[in-house]
Chains A and B, each alone.
Chain A
Amino acid sequence: MAGKTIRRLQELPSTHLLGTGTPMCAGCGGLEILHEIYDILGPKTVFTNAAGCMSLLSVYPYTPFRGSWLYTAMASAPAAAQGIRDALDILLEKKRIPPGDDLQVITLTGDGSAYGMGLSATSAAMDRNLDFIYLCYDNEGYGNTGQQYSSATPHAALTATSRTSHGYPGYKKDLFSIWAAHRPAYVATVIGAEPLDLAQKVEALQELQGPRLLIGLAPCPTGWGFDPSLTVKIGRLAVETGIWPLKEYRDDRTVHTRIVRHRKPVEEYLQLQDRFRHLFEPERNNREIALIQARIDQYWSKAIDADT
């Protein structure tokens, strides 16, 4: 492996490998993550994709990938990664393909699959210590079908299946911890708005073997209700308010890669999005806003203790 090469923002790639012309929405935070990651992983890759927004990345006869891709189904994209990894190993072992034809296997799913239907397949892939990378683009709902709530939906968010003024009554599932509890080689959270942190994590995981998993928060103009030009701003606010902690798990330990000393109030993040507008209009719902803030504060007070 190449080793760490990206230390500064200036060293991020400025020519891009993922093809243009995809049917993702304008301002898609998930596509932003994917293209940043693809710049580093490159074309010697095969993606196994689950049903979700990104099923449509490859629509006959168009594909944005320089490398390869296999569409599977919503529940079993990690199982396809297993099949391909094993098949490539067999082909290499039996010398039916040259070593240069090997590929990195990457599973690409949305939160609907990662947090829900595909969780069993992911868990099992980790049990089997599958050598693969998993990227979940998390837009906090079933985006491809019109943003119904999923188990990644945050508390109080309006979705197509939680339309009342209270929004989604549940709380976002802690997939990072569930994944990390399997003790895989690597787990991290990323976001497109923090490309240096993302690039360094992708470089780090490339030096490891075994299951390496990423959850990328994907601000979604369509599903969350904001102007597409705000994708990066909202992403950055997710980090600055502490609602999306950037962290990584390896060697049995979780470390926060970005600790914001003075976290901005979460309402700065919430009020830019239609899905939380009911917390501010027609009148401010102080109780709910305070509740969301308190959960973030509680998270960080624990997290900083644990890190140090």
Chain B
Amino acid sequence: MFRIRFHGRGGQGMKTASRILGTAFFLEGYEVQDAPRYGAERRGAPIFAYIRADRKPINERGIIAGPDLVVVADDSLVPLPAAGVLQGIREPTVILLKSCESGATWRQRLNIKNPIVTLPETGEAEDSAELRYIGAACAGAAAGVLGIISRESLAQAIQEELGRLGEAVLAKNRANALASFDAIKKSAAVNVTEGGSIPAQPYKRPAWIDLPFEDARISAPVIHAGLTSVEVRTGLWRTMAPVIDYSLCRGCWWVCSTFCPDGVISVRDNQPVIDYDHCKGCLVCVAQCPSHAIAAVPEKEEQARKKAVAGEAS
């Protein structure tokens, strides 16, 4: 059975990707399961979807613990523990990354030996209108890596999944998917191997515990404090970062601070300061700043710049 997991951010079309690939498998005569995993988190937050495909009926269900192929639409998710991109990977698990950097670089960075295939980025993350096409490109690349899905099945699957969106959207998705499919076919020499089932003998015994009785002072669903949400680093959702040019900031009536939906801009020493741990990158501040002192910068560039500044400092 093939077990494939798609990782991306809300809004990048991972559900679409899993459906396209699922349909393509189906058209190739496979039994298929595909499903998105909905969490409570929203656009920009890490999400995933998954597919199982087999020649026999599939009894396994739920989240894929041990994937054969992991597809990542946004390489900024890889280092995030919350995204769980590398969860359950085995030695032969193939990782398909949308990234400007090479597989070798990533292998070194992550200190893993897995085959890593990269699909060059084309700047979609910076253009929210392009975001919705990432899914199809990922599905195309995944089909290419798998090597068992024909170009025709892929095109047909896209037609079935996206046909209702109109010819223009369909064409754009089809072109993206097929281009990724061809590019990967040409470059990648990896094999995705089907994983087996977990054997009944020997097996790892679950470490069950008798849940101890705890009275309601402890075991009621109550948070006995305020403001604990600051421990959630929603800054990880960001693909674009607002950056203040203090030479242009006129210290108005703090438009940015008032309008920021998340309240992450405070005013200190008469200057607005952005809390990047929590800024989700909506860019309302960029759009509203009366003196145009806030620019939208791709998160990656901003990360690199900060790293460089930190390097200089040390």
User: What does the 1/0 interface line of A55-79 toward B look like (CB < 8 Å)?
Assistant: 0111111111111000000000000
How many residues of A sit at the interface, in one of the four size bands? Answer: 35 or more
Minimum C-beta distance from B297 to chain A (A): 14
**Cα of A8 to Cα of B252 in the assembled complex, Å:** 12
Interface positions, chain B 264-314, Cβ under 8 Å from A, are 264, 266-267, 275, 277-278, 280-284, 286-288, 296
Contact of A228 with B284 in the complex, beta carbons under 8 Å: yes
8 Å CB contact of B230 from A21, A35, A59: A21
**Cα of A228 to Cα of B44 in the assembled complex, Å:** 11
A221 part of interface (Cβ distance < 8 Å): yes
Minimum C-beta distance from B42 to chain A (A): 4
A22 part of interface (Cβ distance < 8 Å): yes
By CB atoms of chain A within 10 A, which of B254, B261, B286 has the most? B261
| Stretch from B70-78, B192-200, B231-239 that touches the partner | B231-239
B108 part of interface (Cβ distance < 8 Å): no
Contact of B261 with A21 in the complex, beta carbons under 8 Å: no
**Cα of A234 to Cα of B233 in the assembled complex, Å:** 28
Contact of B44 with A26 in the complex, beta carbons under 8 Å: yes
B228 part of interface (Cβ distance < 8 Å): yes
8 Å CB contact of A229 from B41, B277, B278, B287: B287
Contact of B262 with A35 in the complex, beta carbons under 8 Å: yes
Interface positions, chain A 232-288, Cβ under 8 Å from B, are 232-233
On chain B, the residues within 8 Å of A193 by CB distance are 259
Given contacts A18-B263, A21-B230, A35-B261, 9 further A-B contacts (CB under 8 A): A15-B266, A20-B278, A27-B280, A27-B282, A58-B223, A62-B231, A66-B227, A229-B286, A231-B259
On chain A, the residues within 8 Å of B233 by CB distance are 21
How many residues of B sit at the interface, in one of the four size bands? Answer: 35 or more
Interface positions, chain B 23-58, Cβ under 8 Å from A, are 40-45
Question: Can you list 11 A-B pairs with a CB-CB distance of less than 8 A?
Answer: A9-B253, A18-B263, A20-B263, A22-B262, A32-B259, A58-B229, A63-B223, A222-B43, A227-B283, A228-B283, A231-B284
On chain A, the residues within 8 Å of B262 by CB distance are 20, 22, 24, 26, 28, 31, 35
Contact of A32 with B226 in the complex, beta carbons under 8 Å: no
Contact of B229 with A19 in the complex, beta carbons under 8 Å: yes
Contact of B261 with A231 in the complex, beta carbons under 8 Å: yes
Give the A-B pair count, Cβ closer than 8 A. 146
Minimum C-beta distance from B202 to chain A (A): 37
User: B interface, by DSSP: helix, strand, loop or mixed?
Assistant: loop
8 Å CB contact of A12 from B45, B225, B230, B254: B254
8 Å CB contact of B282 from A18, A19, A229: A229
Contact of A195 with B223 in the complex, beta carbons under 8 Å: no
Minimum C-beta distance from A196 to chain B (A): 9
8 Å CB contact of B237 from A26, A29, A60: A26
Q: Which residue of A lies closest to B164 (CB)?
A: A163
Contact of A20 with B257 in the complex, beta carbons under 8 Å: no
A116 part of interface (Cβ distance < 8 Å): no
- With contact pairs A27-B282, A60-B221 given, residues A35 and B263 touching in the complex (Cβ less than 8 Å): yes
Minimum C-beta distance from A208 to chain B (A): 25
Contact of B258 with A229 in the complex, beta carbons under 8 Å: no
